[in-house]
Structure 1
Amino acid sequence: MMDIVRVRLKQGYRYFFVNLLMTLGVNKIQILKMTFPIFLRPKSSDLLVFHQIFTFKEYDMNLGFSPKFIIDAGANIGLAAVFFSNKFPEAKIMAIEPEKSNFEMLQKNTKEYKNVSLKKMALSNQFNFSFNVVDKGFGNWGFITEIQDSKRKINVIDTVKTITIDEIMIEYNLEYLDLLKIDIEGGEKQLFESNYENWLPKTKCIIIELHDGITNGSSKSFFKAISNYDFSYFNRGENLMFINNRI
């Protein structure tokens, strides 16, 4: 197996070249402007996540400010955290990922970034709940979390505790939350159903991917909550970006 290849190609060439590298067994890639190499797993959704973030640059948005604190909810293998860490090197980043194999890759990809801290938990609107991590066959980027149910046994691969945004803001003594990235495979439905009144109006920017195909009502829950506040809306790929006009 080849160890590391440095990639300095433009978007179109990068897509095909990195795909080729993965078929040849390369598991570590160094990208121009990224401080440290990136680790990917063969025959997984890691390659698709890589292209979303580094080839098609779906998180490369003009925020209008430099965030000092970022929550990466649904951090997967850490590629968004790596991107944000390189773009905003002064920012502290809290990366949250509930699934064990993804979390191990998250640790591997962020271990050299001293501004990134990790939590193997599930982001929720409820404090100290137990959530099941469920594999519904969507691949490594599609594990979902559900409130623990003693009757459900099928496809449950792990159990994790929940953490709320209010808890994180208290832990880090934050008056405002600069950037909240959410990609939690339908968990956004519950997150925005209640208990957002303290942190949502204090959030400067939200980048979110909605998953009605996984959890019906995810979009409805999110838009109902955010419509109570003065946010501007932008679109980039599968992600929606909302900027708080009051902060």
Structure 2
Amino acid sequence: MQDLIKHLVKDVMPPRLFRLLKPSNEPTDAWGSARWGLHGSLVLPGNRRFEYRPCVADRGVCKQIFFLRSYATDTLWRAKEIAAFYEACENPLIIDAGANIGASAVWYALTYPKAKVVAIEPDISNFALLKRNAASFPQITPLNAAIAAKHGTLYLNDPGGGEWAFRTAEQPVDQGYAVDALTLEDVIPPGVTPFILKIDIEGAESDLFSRHSEVLNTFPLVVIELHDWMLPGESNSRNFLQWHVEMKRDFVQMGENAISISNSIALS
């Protein structure tokens, strides 16, 4: 009955008034929180600014990452192990494949301040914003490239899904243009310990996991958005799922992201 009353009140109460009266008990990050600023920016701790374009895609990315905390792992059963692994590392490495305008890279830099973050983004316009947003975070290294199974050249095509949906392919379509394709081995700097591999590359995960790479399994956490929903009939997630099963890792679905947690690398 109480739940019914609660839903009825929510349905009839003006949304703005409901938000004001609703207790704010959402978790926040250890570094604090972001807030919406003016003229297409977020205000971060230390009065740092995070810029985004005045479009639905960019604002949606900011909301997902900074406010809905889509990459936070503190709700996982193995959260303490993950935190312990990070604390034990002198030079933890986070690879952000498909960094877009830099929201995920900046969130990772704030959340794991001693980690080196390599942020990889193939689109020129997205990369320009990524580079500006990363400027006040010396631990972030932006790379204008695509992550792939083999080194070479790919083409970036726009299927019409906006700034967060550019896709790489072996051949250009319409106004597609060439981009460098780098492997994981190419982008991992010396003297680091792999920690998190975040992948959101609009279906190119099928290519990335098509080649057996020892490096993939050195990351205790692989956080990936799969795109079968966007590419029906292609079994796009098959290569990732086969790799995950072969490596005998834990699989957890959290929102849009699948999280693959290593069981062969000690996290404590």
Instruction: State the Cα distance separating 1:28 from its structure 2 match.
Output: 1.8
Alpha-carbon distance in structure 2 between the residues aligned to 1:202 and 1:115: 21
Q: In structure 2, which of residues 159, 162, 169 is the aligned counterpart of residue 139 of structure 1?
A: 162
Q: What do the CA deviations read for 1:78-107 (whole angstroms, capped 9, x no partner)? A: 000000000000000000000000000101
2:204 corresponding residue in structure 1: 187
1:246 corresponding residue in structure 2: 264
TM-score (norm 2): 0.76
1:165 corresponding residue in structure 2: 184
Gaps of 5+ in 2: 1-23, 27-34
1:200 corresponding residue in structure 2: 216
Q: What do the CA deviations read for 1:166-221 (whole angstroms, capped 9, x no partner)? A: 2233x4245x521100000000011111132x112222110000012344322112
Alpha-carbon distance in structure 2 between the residues aligned to 1:178 and 1:46: 27
2:144 corresponding residue in structure 1: 120
Q: Which amino acid aligns with 1:27?
A: G
1:42 corresponding residue in structure 2: 54
Q: What do the CA deviations read for 1:64-88 (whole angstroms, capped 9, x no partner)? A: 2327100000000000000000000
1:57 corresponding residue in structure 2: 69
Aligned identity (percent) is 29
Question: Deviating runs (4+, > 3 A) in structure 1?
Answer: none
* SS of 1:37 mapped into structure 2: strand
Residues 1:43 and 1:205: Cα distance change in structure 2 (over 3 Å): same
Q: In structure 1, which of residues 7, 22, 28 is the aligned counterpart of residue 41 of structure 2?
A: 28
2:9 corresponding residue in structure 1: none
CA contact (8 A) 2:244 2:260 kept: no
1:87 corresponding residue in structure 2: 111
Instruction: State the Cα distance separating 1:44 from its structure 2 match.
Output: 4.0
CA contact (8 A) 1:35 1:86 kept: no
CA contact (8 A) 1:142 1:185 kept: yes
Say if 2:87 is the partner of 1:75: no
Alpha-carbon distance in structure 2 between the residues aligned to 1:122 and 1:87: 25
TM-score (norm 1): 0.82
Q: Which amino acid aligns with 1:97?
A: E
Alpha-carbon distance in structure 2 between the residues aligned to 1:153 and 1:79: 28
Residues 1:234 and 1:220: Cα distance change in structure 2 (over 3 Å): same
Instruction: State the Cα distance separating 1:35 from its structure 2 match.
Output: 6.3
2:19 corresponding residue in structure 1: none
Alpha-carbon distance in structure 2 between the residues aligned to 1:153 and 1:182: 23
Matched pairs, number: 221
Residues 1:230 and 1:101: Cα distance change in structure 2 (over 3 Å): same
* SS of 1:45 mapped into structure 2: helix
Alpha-carbon distance in structure 2 between the residues aligned to 1:177 and 1:234: 20
Alpha-carbon distance in structure 1 between the residues aligned to 2:158 and 2:104: 22
Residues 1:229 and 1:101: Cα distance change in structure 2 (over 3 Å): same
1:218 corresponding residue in structure 2: 236
Alpha-carbon distance in structure 1 between the residues aligned to 2:184 and 2:166: 21
Instruction: State the Cα distance separating 1:34 from its structure 2 match.
Output: 6.9
* Structure with the higher fraction of residues in helix conformation: 2
